[in-house]
Amino acid sequence: MIQDYLNASLRKANYKRLEHGEWFAEIPGYEGVWATGVTVEECRNELMEVLEEWLILKIRDGDQIPVAEGIEIKVKNEEVA
């Protein structure tokens, strides 16, 4: 399910080539999730890493996580004795 969520989120990404030739990508609605790379593939790989780290932080902090293509990630906090 996590991989499906990541892939769905990546499909929302916007890519553009910068004036100096590097690629830039961001995912609308995912604040702080952006990356650059010399090639579009390098940029996408970096974006995936940033997205994974962003998701881990969202889960850890109990922050709201956007729905991606109908995929929702909900975390239940349960006390452990």
- CA atoms of 72 and 69, how far apart (whole Å): 9
Higher pLDDT, 52 or 1: 52
Is 70 a domain residue? no
Is 35 a domain residue? yes
Q: Confidence class of residue 76 from pLDDT cuts 50, 70 and 90?
A: confident
Is 68 a domain residue? no
Is 22 a domain residue? yes
pLDDT at 1: 83
Enclosing domain of residue 30: 2-61
CATH number at residue 28: 3.30.160.250
Is 72 a domain residue? no
CB neighbours of residue 43 within 10 Å: 22
pLDDT digits (tens, 9 = 90+) for 38-61: 999 999 999 999 999 999 999 999
Number of domains in the chain: 1
